[in-house]
Amino acid sequence: METRKVQVTGGSTYTVSLPKTWATENDVGAGTTVEFYPDGDELLLSPQREVDRQEGRLDVSGLEGDRLRRAVTTMYVSGFDVITLEAPQVTTHQRSEIRTATQGLVGVEVLEESTDSVVIQDLLDSSELSIVNAVTRMRLIADSMLADAVTSLLENDEDIALDVIQRDDDVDRLFLVVSRIFRATLRSSRAVEDLGVSREDCFDYHSSARQLERIGDHAVKIATLAHNLGDISGAVAGAIANLHEDAGEVLNKSMDALLAEESEKATQLGHEAIEAVREIDQHTRAIDDQLRDLEPMQAQSLGLIVDSLSRSADYGGNIAETALQKAAPRP
């Protein structure tokens, strides 16, 4: 760390010198324009640079299947707007996997193809993306997925179950958007300023989005089990319906707390959600006792469904804890 004394020039202008080593490494010299980003009691300085779309290249030789799809997703989340995937010979199978990967990303399309490369591009303007809107959308989808998964179980409705499973892709796409935005704020003060949300809040939204993504996964698990379960007894069905209602209340109170503008309201809702999770644990144990009287295979499947609902409530509790931290006074 280096220190400098602030000086006054012209009677009203505050000036401070820049470390020469830093200036040289960042091509800052006489006449260079720099940008200032206020952040509470700190002032961040950065050389002014042209806002160009970030381009990245990746050698995909030997990458197939899940590894290739993960590589494409990683480049997207890392913040590249134009991604060139290269190999001495891009195979037909690789092209198919790349297209599949792009379909799982918001706003990304294949721009051009040649024998030795495939270029994909993010067509969205990153400055227009909102992490709050993305998380809010995730909340709505995950909540409806969980509700529909339970409905498919109670009504033995195969179509609803299949619809829940398909909607999981929407939650996953939005989570990748949130991850991309969050990582951008870690790299660039300009991204933070454009977004209008602090880095701490972005961290909280990203953490909560991860919990919502997991709730979506459990909704899929419930729908998958319900698809092959058939009819269930009235007493057990009623207990599971009540458990879902309690879990859904935890999720919604937690998200209301996270998105609340008033810290007092956020704190109150956060505590209520966490306290409700403890009650759900007792409710879950009571249902497990009911399942012991059922046929073993059915009891096992229903036990997994009850566990998924309980875990979804736990994830809601995690969001509530994040909301409490977000609402707490900051040093």
pLDDT < 50 stretches in the chain: none
The answer on 132 and 112 residing in a single domain is: no
Which pTM value belongs to this model? Answer: 0.87
Report the distance separating Cα 114 and Cα 91, nearest Å.
11
Report the distance separating Cα 79 and Cα 70, nearest Å.
14
Task: Give domain status of residue 248, yes or no.
Answer: yes
The answer on 79 and 150 residing in a single domain is: no
pLDDT for 108 equals 92
The set of residues, in sequence order, having a beta carbon less than 8 Å from that of 199 and lying 6+ positions away, is 185, 186, 192
Provide the token pair at 30: 């006489």
Q: Collapsing DSSP states into helix, strand and coil, what is residue 84?
A: strand
Report the distance separating Cα 184 and Cα 190, nearest Å.
9
The CATH number linked to 302 is 1.20.58.220
CA atoms within 13 A of residue 144's CA, in its CB half-sphere: 14
The answer on 281 and 226 residing in a single domain is: yes
Task: Give domain status of residue 1, yes or no.
Answer: no
Q: Could you read off the pLDDT of 179-189 as tens digits, one per residue?
A: 999 998 888 77
The answer on 200 and 65 residing in a single domain is: no
| Domain with 287 in it | 127-327
Question: CB–CB of 34/46 below 8 Å?
Answer: yes
Provide the token pair at 111: 């721009």
Q: Of 126, 216, 128, 136, give the one whose Cα is nearest residue 170.
A: 216
Task: Give domain status of residue 182, yes or no.
Answer: yes
Q: Of 136, 224, 116, 238, give the one whose Cα is nearest residue 177.
A: 136
The set of residues, in sequence order, having a beta carbon less than 8 Å from that of 322 and lying 6+ positions away, is 204, 207, 208, 258
Quote the DSSP letter at residue 196: T
Domain endpoint, select from 100, 122, 144: 122
The answer on 59 and 39 residing in a single domain is: no
The CATH number linked to 104 is 3.30.110.40
The answer on 64 and 43 residing in a single domain is: no
Give the Å distances, CA to CA, from 163 to 148, 167, 193, 220, 221: 9, 6, 39, 9, 13
Task: Give domain status of residue 164, yes or no.
Answer: yes
The answer on 242 and 292 residing in a single domain is: yes
Backbone dihedral region of 10: left (phi > 0), alpha (psi from -120 to 50 degrees) or beta? Answer: left
Total number of domains constituting the chain = 3
Q: Are strands 13-15 and 7-9 parallel, antiparallel or unpaired?
A: antiparallel
The answer on 270 and 167 residing in a single domain is: yes
Give the Å distances, CA to CA, from 181 to 46, 94, 232, 260, 295: 20, 27, 44, 21, 48
Task: Give domain status of residue 117, yes or no.
Answer: yes
The answer on 15 and 156 residing in a single domain is: no
Domain endpoint, select from 69, 89, 122: 122
Task: Give domain status of residue 2, yes or no.
Answer: no
Report the distance separating Cα 193 and Cα 177, nearest Å.
18
